Amino acid sequence: MSFAELALDPRLLANLQALGYSQPTPIQQQAIAPVLAGRDLLAGAQTGTGKTASFVLPILQKILPLASTSTSPARHPVRALVLCPTRELAVQVADNAQTYAKHTPIRTAVVFGGVDIKTQTPAVRAGVELLIATPGRLLDHLEQRNVNLNQVQYLVLDEADRMLDMGFLPDLQRILNLLPKQRQTLLFS
């Protein structure tokens, strides 16, 4: 199987080719098609197996038709939210997402604690379709009304088990209560 067989947008395929990716890994082969089909998913894979691409690529594919080249923040609502337990993982996911979304109008941003929130505010206020966040910092941005989650169609909990082990359940419940009830949910470990 090749990435081309997954019916991904030519821009996404070109980005993958530029990275030297030709064949999907097992987790990508098993996850991308069900995500594209709109199914909720619970998946597990070892670190280094391409897990991030297995949820980022189909999400980018699904939100590409809604992407806008407008400079208006209102034209760039958060359509996909990826929650990560640590800032290191959030930054890694964001770096990959930006690379996969290169040459598309999709805006991505990452927010995490440990830095001044004011450094992250301009990016989220400018509008972003794919937001990667740690739960606590996302709640900070929500409280400051820097971001709105009422148009989220895709939710990913990356390292979901680790987030629960780290005590994020109350934060996750608060975030889930702010999301639309109709959404696709993906849990990865």
pLDDT in tens, the chain (189 residues): 889 898 899 999 999 999 999 899 999 999 999 999 999 999 988 888 899 999 999 999 999 999 888 888 778 899 999 999 999 999 999 999 999 999 999 999 999 999 999 999 999 999 999 999 999 999 999 999 999 999 999 999 999 889 989 999 999 999 999 999 999 999 998
CA 172 to chain centroid, in Å, comes to 16
90-99, Cβ contacts within 8 angstroms, sequence gap of 24 or more: 90/132, 90/133, 90/134, 92/52, 93/52, 93/56, 93/132, 93/158, 94/132, 96/52, 96/53, 96/56, 97/52, 97/56, 97/60, 97/130, 97/132, 99/15, 99/19
pTM comes to 0.95
